[in-house]
Structure 1
Amino acid sequence: MVIFDCDGVLVGGEHLSNALMAEEARKYGWPLSDEEAARIFSGGELAKIGERIAEHTGKKLPADWGLMMQKRIATMMKTEAETIDGAEKMLQDVKNLGLPIAVGSNSSGEEMEAKFSSTGLDEIIPADAIHSARDLNVPKPRPDVYLHAAANEGVKPENCIVLEDSDPGAEAARKAGMACVLLRPLDEPAPEWPGLLRISHLDQFVPLLKKIMAEQKAHETTKAS
């Protein structure tokens, strides 16, 4: 089974969310640029971002700040979400390999519905295969959303591979006992974890899957003989 993160892997637009977080930080007295917000907040959970803004500024944010931001992001993504280059073809190619697919993200279910419907990915990804760590209230780097996705499909964690772009997401996959492929330019730093694979573009993912599947088949053949 293949489980995908959403933002930065299938759908672009995290820069828009980070810009919104930068705007909120500045509103409460933290003079962050959009670039600084992207570095500090990328892959983070809204509640934790709100806590960090409050801690840094000494200001008390509204009790429903996270919910308000979630609604604003979902509304924004209905019109501004963009598919990551190659995502649609890659998803279809994975399905053509006969592998079930799922999504596990820190985004809310509402956000992902907006992102996938506006990009057309909802025609490829089954609605019941989309899982939100935020809605489960167990954000990455906790592994719960990935374990939940695997259990929903009836697949053991060790038979899952996760495609991620963030360190917290890769850590969640590692804690779940799943293989992980990190989508990130090869000249950028990454965790040095045993078994962590890397690609720099989505068009490299399916060939990597085919290689892994061929190696597994060869291993099983050798073991049987």
Structure 2
Amino acid sequence: MKRTFGLVIFDCDGVLIDSERVSAAVIAESMTELGLPVTPEAAMARFVGVSLRAMRPMIEADLGRPLPPDWNAMLVARIVAAMERHAEPIPGAREILEHFDAVGQPWRIASNSADVEMDAKFGRTGWLDLVAGRTFSAPRLFPEGGRPKPAPDVFLAAARSLPAAPETCLVIEDSVTGIAGAIAAGMTCYGFAPHGNGEPLLAAGAERVISGHHELRDLVALAAAIGAKA
């Protein structure tokens, strides 16, 4: 049965853009250069949904020493370059965004990625016009004291932009970290598991798990039925 939401908020990586494997390869390469050999698969398993800010102390603990001061900036630059070459859309993602536009369902994107990373992903896929003004980056909030997921800050920033009350928002997330942030924000969360690995998402608190964006057509009713009010 369809439910009505004032706003649908999508995670970016792994939900709209197939970019997590690209990032994991860059992270694995950097860790190996630092003397911590790791495969892209292992890096992805450990760091999916984890912000760069949270990742740094984890790697430093493994190393037993601080990372170079410019490591964050270096890694972002390498990830951006990789995204410009390899990022691809998740099947059905653009179609659901365009469908929501057609039926008047507001949507936003909330990500732990920096704006420059999202620009690279959406530039590569030709989505810049589609997503303009609707992306929210956790690092953009850092100067104001904002925190990355699993904190709720980036989700709440996305909701304020409409505005929409948190309890009227639906979040689509593929990581335990993101689900924790959505729940902390007081929002409903659906897990996104196109490869059938939805049990950890349900255990983390997702209300249900979907395997593809096409399912949202049967689950989300027109927001105009209640309006999008703060």
| Fold shared, TM-score > 0.5 on shorter chain | yes
For 1:136-151, what aligned pairs fall within 5 Å after superposition? 136-137=141-142, 138-151=147-160
Instruction: Please report the TM-score for the alignment, with normalisation by the length of structure 2.
Output: 0.86
Looking at secondary structure, tell me which structure has more helix per residue. 1
Which residue identity lines up with residue 199 of structure 2 in the other structure?
P
SS of 2:95's equivalent in the other structure is helix
Aligned counterpart for 2:84 among listed residues 78, 82, 85: 78
Q: Which has more radius of gyration?
A: 1
Which residue identity lines up with residue 211 of structure 2 in the other structure?
S
1:207: which partner in 2? 218
Percent identity, aligned pairs only, is 37
SS of 1:103's equivalent in the other structure is strand
8 Å CA contact 2:188–2:207 kept in 1: the answer is: yes
Cα distance between partner residues in 2 of 1:173 and 1:97: 24
Aligned counterpart for 1:130 among listed residues 126, 135, 142: 135
Q: CA deviation at 1:36?
A: 0.9
Instruction: Please report the TM-score for the alignment, with normalisation by the length of structure 1.
Output: 0.88
Q: CA deviation at 1:53?
A: 1.4
- Say whether 1:48 aligns with 2:54: yes
Which residue identity lines up with residue 189 of structure 1 in the other structure?
E
1:160: which partner in 2? 169
Unaligned runs of 5+ in 2: 1-6
SS of 1:124's equivalent in the other structure is helix
RMSD: 2.0
SS of 2:25's equivalent in the other structure is helix
RCO higher in structure (CA 8 A, sep ≥6)? 2
Aligned counterpart for 1:30 among listed residues 16, 19, 36: 36
Cα distance between partner residues in 1 of 2:93 and 2:124: 14
Does the C-alpha gap of structure 1 residues 23 and 187 become closer, same or farther in structure 2, counting only changes over 3 Å? closer
Cα distance between partner residues in 2 of 1:118 and 1:195: 30
List structure 1 runs of 4+ shifted beyond 3 angstroms: 185-188
Unaligned runs of 5+ in 1: 221-225
Q: CA deviation at 1:187?
A: 4.5
